[in-house]
Structure 1
Amino acid sequence: MPLKSKRSRIEPLSPPYDEEAGAALALLGHPPIQLFRVWARRPELARSIAGWGSYYFSQRSALTLRQRELVIDRTTALCGADYEWAVHVAGFAEKAGLDAAQLASLADGRPADGCWDATDRAVLEAVDELHATFDLSDDTWANLVAVADEDAALELVLICGWYHAVSFSVRALRLPLEPGTKPIGSL
């Protein structure tokens, strides 16, 4: 269930940043969104997240950009993480080739919806099953490996878990939406 609070429980850092926070945020290579500015309150946390987290998967992933965004968007929608959903939809939906019907399905539809091909469906079925059971059946694993490969399937599991953690964070922190973004299901 999406949160309606407009006030963050922990205020993100604002420029000018101290030397440690500034160095951690510089690892991103782009202006930091609120979530990263909250993490930068503890620069060692921000550095470790920037060094592992989504940056590994966005730069070296065995998943395609589209597959990665299906995993992230569906996971954040299932977790009711408006902030993270909005950031990803605004930044990547067009690049990943996601249309309005697909975004609506990611928000509150099912993998069996008619807007998905067999590859997308296998990815979404894996995400939904991981969310519901914290595991993948042999059939779901086999379907996923058939449309991707074992490396991509492993990354899907890790990204899904990572974005559960991110979803927990943005919800518990009550981060308001970034300017110009829209919550789950409001496209």
Structure 2
Amino acid sequence: MSRIKALGEPYPAEVRATFDKIMGVGVPPLVLFSTIASSDRAWRKFTGGSLLDGSLLTLRQRELVIDRVCARTGCEYEWGVHVMAFAQAAGLSKEEVAGTLEHPLRPEHWKEEEAILLTAIDALHDRATLSDEEFLSLGKHFDDDQVLEILMLAGFYRTVSYIANGLALPLEQNAARFSEYQKGMTAKNLR
């Protein structure tokens, strides 16, 4: 049970239209969405961004950012939703998905560009900044618009993690679970 009551049906027409656009017509909204939609202002602010449009980062890059942010913040709710919904389409193997949970990161298990991307996410999580070296490394693989997108995406999903964790949202029924991917890992290897 969430700490804030989710918006129930019947949904206002504008909210239903947004749910249908995000989820598909007639598909029930995620608990995250119906909970945030319980506040008109919060819902408008939350849906105001458009970071999932696929115009600057590949699906794989985007999902690596989101999965790593959610893993590092311990947000099983959103991590599980994204693994369930996008990992296969993003070409992420089960081992790579498990790798998003590992800490410290093992860069040798990733392509150079992905290791740099994931290292940047770790730096943002740990220090809320990038060193000059980390920024220059990102710049070798991503242009300025993409770097801004990465920073905004990481920040947005940290916010999503705060919401999901802070409200103790129940895990979605079919979403992936940390435990499915943590076999053989110790607590030391996580977060």
Q: Give TM-score, length-normalised by structure 2.
A: 0.85
CA distance in 2, matches of 1:113, 1:62: 23
RMSD: 1.8
CA distance in 1, matches of 2:58, 2:12: 37
Q: Once the two structures are superposed, what CA deviation does each residue of 1:77-101 show, in whole Å capped at 9, x if it has no partner?
A: 0000010000000011111111111
Q: Which amino acid aligns with 1:136?
A: L
Counterparts of 1:19-98 in structure 2 under 5 Å? 19=13, 21-26=15-20, 28=22, 30=24, 31=27, 32-52=29-49, 56-98=50-92
CA distance in 1, matches of 2:165, 2:115: 27
Q: Which amino acid aligns with 2:44?
A: R
Q: Once the two structures are superposed, what CA deviation does each residue of 1:135-187 show, in whole Å capped at 9, x if it has no partner?
A: 00111111111112111111111111111111010001111111112322423
Residue 185 of structure 2 corresponds to which residue in structure 1?
Answer: none
- Following superposition, the deviation at residue 105 of structure 1 comes to 1.1
- Contact persistence 1:13–1:37 (CA under 8 A): yes
CA distance 1:60–1:137, change in 2 (3 Å): same
- Following superposition, the deviation at residue 20 of structure 1 comes to 5.4
Q: Give TM-score, length-normalised by structure 1.
A: 0.87
Give identity over the alignment, percent: 36
CA distance in 1, matches of 2:123, 2:162: 18
* Stretches of structure 1 lacking an aligned partner (at least 5 in a row): 1-6
Q: Work out which of the residue numbers 92, 95, 99 in structure 1 matches 2:93.
A: 99
- Following superposition, the deviation at residue 17 of structure 1 comes to 1.7
Q: Once the two structures are superposed, what CA deviation does each residue of 1:10-49 show, in whole Å capped at 9, x if it has no partner?
A: 2322322244543553553533211010011112321332
Counterparts of 1:1-187 in structure 2 under 5 Å? 7-19=1-13, 21-26=15-20, 28=22, 30=24, 31=27, 32-52=29-49, 56-187=50-181
Q: Which amino acid aligns with 2:37?
A: A
Give the number of aligned pairs.
Answer: 178
Structure 2 counterpart SS, 1:96: coil
CA distance 1:64–1:110, change in 2 (3 Å): farther
Residue 4 of structure 1 corresponds to which residue in structure 2?
Answer: none
CA distance in 1, matches of 2:123, 2:52: 23
* Stretches of structure 2 lacking an aligned partner (at least 5 in a row): 182-191
